[in-house]
A and B are shown apart, each in its own frame.
Chain A
């Protein structure tokens, strides 16, 4: 079962940067654009599993730190000519709080 879970405030994430959320299904990278849009993707590059949270964010893409694939933040799709997709996670912002739609949680701890 999925549920909306509050994971922190928008300003906890650096602009044009990312933070990670540990889940039982693996790490999720939560990105913040220059316009304060929030996107979340599973933190594994479709190429060789690079941690996307460590990449450079511009516009609505992130560039993987390992071999520079460019991944769309909205869809998780790699930009051509590369092919592959990483799973996006639904997110929303209310009152400055970031919520992710995740497998039902037992506990939430902020760090």
Chain B
């Protein structure tokens, strides 16, 4: 079980670029690195784009977390939040944080993002002056909004406008100062910028365009009090938001001697001038270009992850970019060139002043090279596609400004203003994540997706800024309109979500209680029902072994009182007999208990142990206490968990035995007892292929041979007989434990509640099981480690707990006697 030594990857910057790279890396090489992440902010990774929505009150901070802390833990990533890296020693290959943590690296990833650009203005340091970059900034703005103060935003670009609108939504009077004569001049032409200003003025924002700020004025107590412009105008304000731009955050890279221009210089492989150091995101400069939108950054993350995984064929190239503004009800789109630059360029313009619609296309040699749209942006992605494909548009030139539906005579399936039927397969729908229509359609049909959330989860389309959600929905409607009953059945009457979807959301959203699951996923009944509660209880227990507190009221009576209910309301008690072994002392204790409590039936079970049947409920704690004194613990004959491990006598006694099957059975049972599983799990170990322990109809069966141990899985006696499938032959007992434990954990994590291993193996296929347990050695070891970890919390004898009188005492006593 010696693990291959992993390399060390240190990531500086717990932001969007850094964590996307780590996600991509985990997807292709999950076991290559031990990963340590340093983040200057005190939060886990969140969706910075959505800060605008948090400010506007459309989202909560919790809603925008991309990777909760559990994600880091689940992936074995060491996370240091609120602790910036302050030094890189490239010779020693270590980084040092502000708190003095020193971590060595084999590979280093710089993803330090950018800093807000701050003009050299007097008064900038005053309290009440903030930038718009992180959660802390938003919190400051919200505090000011709470007090209903006045705000001035400096900067009329994307960020400044979104800040101004958010503050306005929060009830503050807001003025916006912009240096240029029109808003968003880098993304919009004069006309569209003018329309935007008009609309926002109608919504109550005040604009000071062509306004140059001279100073931020302060009062005696040192707070900002207003903004003074060079032309003498003064605008009173208690909050001043500076959003004039960003500048790559290169401080650390510079101090460590890496090549820097405006940003950290990287090549097409995303490596810096030091081949052990990579960089992605807003801190980099690639071929003279720096970045401020996520679409190209996602490409960088992909390339960088591939390089970190040891592949050398990925090259980064900046894709064409498009811009949208996230102000609800205001539709703006632009891509490429904003206007004709010389005589070779032509402009097509459509203007409907009454309805506030404006569209402009810039053409060059029969190709679209730019688009600016205001008011109706439904065709934005189509124009953007024409730009990217450099399509020849001569044939549709006279109609294309009216949109794709009109340009293509063959239109059908018009939905949500977008003609998704006519859209070509490689048309990009989600610009942030580079997802094409074809990829979405394939995911919908291939995986049977039926909701926007599923499409988002599977493809990442609309998972970043969310602007394309309506188009994704339109595609979904278009595709599923023709696919009947694609949906996996919901868990129960409380939800339409399937077991798999619920499990995924539990992990993804970090849901840790049943109430949290039911409220986050929109359960129809507040309490849930008798079907979903036991399932949720199990899923939560499996997902958060160290944290989740078992909800015993969500368990079937047998698991609640740790004994099997019988037809007459009495119970049966089956103590564990490890591998079917027992001792005279144990047998005496069982006999004494049977006498003392007048237990009517004592029976040897089909699972090689003894059943005491007909025990009265109130006698259970006494029975357990007496059995416990002899060292007997619960056999879990009642649980969706590990039942028995049957063995034969094996090499210790049998003339044919090849290995110590009894001893191995005991080891397996000691490893696995107490674990909770989707359905019951039974094991057996036979000492030779005569197979006296019937190992080949068990969930996990081991048949010993001269050369080692044949492990097979997915067997079932019971209702539908199924023989096991061979998994692997291994040489040592240690390997049997590791393979069996890993199989068990993957079954625990992926099977649906009440699905035994036999139907699960049938459903996912033996190839899949082998890939996970046999071929992926790292994955196997990791799964085994997760199993061992969860066992730390599971191996507590429930009988001893209850015999002590300290747990669930009320279960075994009547409330009152009357009459």
Across the interface, A58 reaches (CB within 8 A) one of B529, B556, B560, namely: B529
A108 to B533, alpha carbons, bound, how many Å? Answer: 36
Number of B residues contacting the other chain (C-beta, 8 Å)? 26
- Is A21 engaged at the interface, CB distance under 8 Å to the other chain? yes
A68 / chain B contacts, CB cutoff of 8 Å? 530
Interface string of A1-45 (1 = CB under 8 A from B): 000010110001111110111111101001001100000000000
B819 / chain A contacts, CB cutoff of 8 Å? 23-25, 102-103, 105-107
- Is B391 engaged at the interface, CB distance under 8 Å to the other chain? no
The answer to whether B526 touches A22 (Cβ under 8 A) is no
A63 to B554, alpha carbons, bound, how many Å? Answer: 12
Once A8-B815, A57-B553, A58-B528 are accepted as A-B contacts, the answer to whether A66 and B810 lie under 8 Å apart by CB is: no
The answer to whether A107 touches B817 (Cβ under 8 A) is yes
- Is B409 engaged at the interface, CB distance under 8 Å to the other chain? no
The answer to whether A22 touches B814 (Cβ under 8 A) is yes
Sample of 10 A–B contacts (CB below 8 Å): A7-B818, A17-B553, A19-B810, A20-B815, A54-B569, A59-B526, A65-B565, A66-B565, A68-B530, A108-B817
Minimum CB–CB distance from B613 to chain A (whole Å) comes to 16
A79 to B815, alpha carbons, bound, how many Å? Answer: 27
The answer to whether B818 touches A23 (Cβ under 8 A) is yes
- Is A55 engaged at the interface, CB distance under 8 Å to the other chain? yes
Minimum CB–CB distance from B493 to chain A (whole Å) comes to 11
Most chain A CB within 10 A, of B530, B567, B819, is at B819
The answer to whether B567 touches A109 (Cβ under 8 A) is no
Most chain B CB within 10 A, of A22, A33, A58, is at A58
A109 to B814, alpha carbons, bound, how many Å? Answer: 10
A8 / chain B contacts, CB cutoff of 8 Å? 815-816
Number of A residues contacting the other chain (C-beta, 8 Å)? 44
The answer to whether A111 touches B817 (Cβ under 8 A) is yes
- Is B527 engaged at the interface, CB distance under 8 Å to the other chain? yes
- Is B813 engaged at the interface, CB distance under 8 Å to the other chain? yes
- Is B525 engaged at the interface, CB distance under 8 Å to the other chain? yes
Interface string of B425-454 (1 = CB under 8 A from A): 000000000000000000000000000000
Interface residues of B in 126-174 (CB under 8 A from A): none
Most chain A CB within 10 A, of B526, B534, B817, is at B817
Q: Which residue of B lies closest to A28 (CB)?
A: B818
Please give 17 more A-B residue pairs, beta carbons under 8 A apart, in addition to A20-B814, A58-B529: A8-B815, A12-B815, A17-B553, A22-B818, A25-B819, A34-B527, A51-B569, A54-B561, A54-B565, A56-B555, A65-B565, A66-B565, A106-B819, A107-B818, A108-B818, A109-B816, A110-B816
Minimum CB–CB distance from A82 to chain B (whole Å) comes to 14
- Is B489 engaged at the interface, CB distance under 8 Å to the other chain? no
Q: Which residue of B lies closest to A48 (CB)?
A: B567
- Is B557 engaged at the interface, CB distance under 8 Å to the other chain? yes
Once A48-B567, A63-B530 are accepted as A-B contacts, the answer to whether A111 and B818 lie under 8 Å apart by CB is: no
The answer to whether A56 touches B533 (Cβ under 8 A) is yes
- Is A88 engaged at the interface, CB distance under 8 Å to the other chain? no
The answer to whether A56 touches B816 (Cβ under 8 A) is no
Minimum CB–CB distance from A93 to chain B (whole Å) comes to 14
A89 to B534, alpha carbons, bound, how many Å? Answer: 29
A21 to B817, alpha carbons, bound, how many Å? Answer: 6
Q: Which residue of A lies closest to B553 (CB)?
A: A16
B529 / chain A contacts, CB cutoff of 8 Å? 58-59
A50 to B556, alpha carbons, bound, how many Å? Answer: 14
A57 / chain B contacts, CB cutoff of 8 Å? 553
A25 / chain B contacts, CB cutoff of 8 Å? 819
Across the interface, B556 reaches (CB within 8 A) one of A15, A56, A103, A110, namely: A56
A12 / chain B contacts, CB cutoff of 8 Å? 810, 815
The answer to whether B557 touches A54 (Cβ under 8 A) is yes
The answer to whether B569 touches A50 (Cβ under 8 A) is yes
B533 / chain A contacts, CB cutoff of 8 Å? 56, 58
Q: Which residue of A lies closest to B565 (CB)?
A: A65
Q: Which residue of A lies closest to B561 (CB)?
A: A54
Minimum CB–CB distance from A55 to chain B (whole Å) comes to 7
A101 to B340, alpha carbons, bound, how many Å? Answer: 89
Across the interface, B527 reaches (CB within 8 A) one of A24, A59, A105, namely: A59
The answer to whether A34 touches B556 (Cβ under 8 A) is no
A44 to B27, alpha carbons, bound, how many Å? Answer: 55
Interface string of B538-569 (1 = CB under 8 A from A): 00000000000000011111001100010101
Q: Which residue of B lies closest to A33 (CB)?
A: B527
Across the interface, A14 reaches (CB within 8 A) one of B556, B810, B813, namely: B810
The answer to whether B557 touches A65 (Cβ under 8 A) is yes
Minimum CB–CB distance from B568 to chain A (whole Å) comes to 8
Interface string of B792-819 (1 = CB under 8 A from A): 0000000000000000001001111111
Minimum CB–CB distance from A40 to chain B (whole Å) comes to 11
Minimum CB–CB distance from A5 to chain B (whole Å) comes to 6
B560 / chain A contacts, CB cutoff of 8 Å? 54
A21 / chain B contacts, CB cutoff of 8 Å? 814-818
Minimum CB–CB distance from B697 to chain A (whole Å) comes to 27
A7 / chain B contacts, CB cutoff of 8 Å? 815-816, 818
B565 / chain A contacts, CB cutoff of 8 Å? 51, 54, 65-66
A20 / chain B contacts, CB cutoff of 8 Å? 814-815
A15 / chain B contacts, CB cutoff of 8 Å? 553
Interface string of A46-72 (1 = CB under 8 A from B): 001011001111110001011010100
Interface string of B408-438 (1 = CB under 8 A from A): 0000000000000000000000000000000
Minimum CB–CB distance from B517 to chain A (whole Å) comes to 15
The answer to whether A108 touches B816 (Cβ under 8 A) is yes
Most chain B CB within 10 A, of A7, A23, A54, is at A54
The answer to whether B816 touches A34 (Cβ under 8 A) is no
A66 to B558, alpha carbons, bound, how many Å? Answer: 11
Q: Which residue of B lies closest to A102 (CB)?
A: B818
Minimum CB–CB distance from B797 to chain A (whole Å) comes to 22
A22 to B818, alpha carbons, bound, how many Å? Answer: 6
Minimum CB–CB distance from A102 to chain B (whole Å) comes to 6
Minimum CB–CB distance from B464 to chain A (whole Å) comes to 38
The answer to whether A22 touches B528 (Cβ under 8 A) is no
